[in-house]
Amino acid sequence: MEKMEKLLGAVVAQYEQGLPLHLVDPKRSAIAVMSEAKFREMRADEVLELLRTKHLLISGCAGEEPIKFDEQGMRTLCLPTKEFEVQGASTLMSLH
């Protein structure tokens, strides 16, 4: 719990005008917030370029029910085993 409090303190210390940076000054924030519709309009290369410098937070996603933060919910985000590149190294990811 102590580590979580320190992490929260570090995050809150970066607030400006009592708000997180992605709300006050999106260009300086490490988080890019966009609607699902805007995200779907973007080409893959545009998404990849954005991900070089920012984390994506996509709001207003359509869906029948929210994704639960459990193993089954995480499986909806990608296939249970999927090959992907991490810093140039091929890796096999498994949620088992």
The 10s digit of each residue's pLDDT in 43-94 is 988 999 999 999 888 888 776 677 777 777 776 666 556 665 555 444 444 4
Confidence at residue 91, expressed as pLDDT on a 0 to 100 scale: 46
Helix or strand run (H / E) with residue 12: helix 2-13
pLDDT in tens, 7-38: 888 888 889 999 988 889 988 888 899 998 89
Confidence at residue 14, expressed as pLDDT on a 0 to 100 scale: 86
The answer to whether the beta carbons of residues 56 and 39 sit under 8 Å apart is yes
- The single residue listed with the structure tokens 């929210």 is 66
Is pTM beyond 0.75 here?
Answer: no
Domain housing 79: 2-94
Looking at the 3D structure of the chain, how many domains does it have?
A: 1
